Structure 1
Amino acid sequence: MRRLFPLALLLGLALAQIGRPVEAFQKALGPLPPGAKVEVEAKGGRLLSATYRGPENASFLARFLEKGTGMPFGQAFLDWYAKNKEALKGKRLTLNLGEDFLLELYPSPFQARLLPRSVPESAFGQDRLVLGQKGPFFRVFSDFQCPYCQRLAREVLPALKARAREGELRLSYRHFPLTEIHPEALPAAHASECAQEQGAFWPYHDLLMAGRLGDYLGLARALGLDGEAFARCLQSPEVRKRVEEERALALRLGLRGTPTVFAGPYKVPNPFDLAQVLDYLELAR
């Protein structure tokens, strides 16, 4: 795949139409160029992907991208297209739109398909640190020392935990310690696994995400866990291996930072936007 736009463009994030009711996208798109049509793929009445078929029209495609993603990709696309138009004739391409969307371009007859980035759920392997019994998986690849992960834990996860307890979804924590920049990330992840050994992962998770890093045995005792068993677990190479295997998985999936979040197979563009998270969870049902 080719990368089309840099991550800096994500700073202008707005509410994406993908995941929202199809009618909202169709209304936002406005009139089509002569001889063109736009076909949509929906799940549960929500936009999953959109395909433009018709004459090559860069200005309309710029609007198509912005209305479909809710992001300011338009001018960057126009600049890219102007530089590459002649070299692209007759070629089929898949382009990255930032980290969260793909654009597939097909020649003869011309068409452009916009869709969210996704990963087959089988690629995630076994989910172990799960809250909830049924519903789509909401997988959070996270790092206990990451301030943005701590923000997600404060601002979004409480609402999702409540829904998980009500049977609407399954909340899955996946370790992705950024050991290059966070020295406490790996020890904290290891300690959380030791809390899991005593059935207390999520309470321990909440203490860690509140910034209480370092005194891992003290946190366990504060939760009433068996201190001796916890201390032995902290020395376990098998437990450390579990965390390292999860980090290796995140790297194989091409994840670049934390938190990275998936609703079912779909990567969620803005995990801090609860409304968008719930939209993507609806797609994942």
Structure 2
Amino acid sequence: MADQSMSQPQELTKKQRKEMRREERRNEEQNVRRSSIRKKYFGWGGISIGIALLIVWAVLSSGGSNGTNSALAPDNDPFKGIADAQVVLTEYSDFQCPACKSALPIVQQVIDTYADRIKITYNNFPLSSIHQNSDEAAKAGECAFDQNKFWEYHDMLYDRQDLWANMSDPQETFTNYAQEVGMDTGVFNTCYDGSDAKDRVEYDKREGNTRGINSTPTFMVDDEVVRSVRSFADLQEVIDAALGNTNQSVTK
């Protein structure tokens, strides 16, 4: 037979009951404090989240309807000529592209002839599927742009294209080129290793894809794509038409 004293709960003493009630009150007070802290935390957290969302919305709105960052926009592309010109020649190019290198004299003739009337911009369009270092070279060019050395660096990359094109890692070579044209190499490497220059290259590529660009070099005069540019005359005709100039043999 089981011990009946084990099956019946023992009666608490007055002192024990008092201590139990005290403990219950302490627990209730702690729960109230925790609840208050949670409400305060989430209340301020909700406000903070709301503010953050408003900031994000404002940033995206300022970038235009497609949400692009204004720091990446075309107004920040390297250019020669008149900044606010009504006629803009845009070159989509790849530093590792041999045809782009061959087109340099044509581009230079455009600059010599029209720089006082139009804007000539350079946009990255690296064909990384066939040119292994084109993305890296484009990124290096953006870092040169940050130090106001883009055009000197642009010329050097094309001039020495055969030297770096097939390197497994061209960063050291690109850094040496940066030093040669007078850049701060520490700043250059920080830029090269960061994400900002890469983002700008990707922006140019997306913009080019949107415009139907699929090869390099490709030129646009305003919104008109100029296909198969083999000579200065091919661009001259379209630029003169855009300028409203009936003389098709503008020379200086």
Scaled by the length of structure 1, the TM-score of the pair is 0.53
**For 2:144, what is the secondary structure of its paired residue?**
helix
Q: What are the superposed Cα offsets for residues 128-173 of structure 1, whole Å, 9 maximum, x if unpaired?
A: 21111135211111111111111111x21221222354x1221100
- Are 1:147 and 2:147 counterparts? no
Which shifted more, 130-139 or 191-200?
Answer: 130-139
Within a 5 Å distance, the mapping from 1:137-176 to structure 2 comes to 137-153=88-104, 155-165=105-115, 167-176=116-125
- Are 1:278 and 2:231 counterparts? no
Q: Aligned partners of 1:142 and 1:277: how far apart in 2?
A: 16
**For 2:230, what is the secondary structure of its paired residue?**
coil
Assess if the C-alpha contact under 8 Å between 1:131 and 1:161 holds in 2.
yes
Residue 250 of structure 1 aligns with which residue?
Answer: 208
Q: 1:129 to 1:164 in 2, by over 3 A?
A: farther
Larger Rg over CA atoms: 2
Q: Aligned partners of 1:247 and 1:180: how far apart in 2?
A: 13
Report sequence identity in percent.
27
Q: What are the superposed Cα offsets for residues 175-211 of structure 1, whole Å, 9 maximum, x if unpaired?
A: 1111111111000000000000011111111111111
1:217 deviates by 0.5
- Are 1:187 and 2:136 counterparts? yes
Residue 74 of structure 2 aligns with which residue?
Answer: 126
**For 2:89, what is the secondary structure of its paired residue?**
strand
**For 2:103, what is the secondary structure of its paired residue?**
helix
The structure with the greater share of residues assigned to strand is: 1
Assess if the C-alpha contact under 8 Å between 1:139 and 1:263 holds in 2.
yes
Assess if the C-alpha contact under 8 Å between 1:265 and 1:284 holds in 2.
no
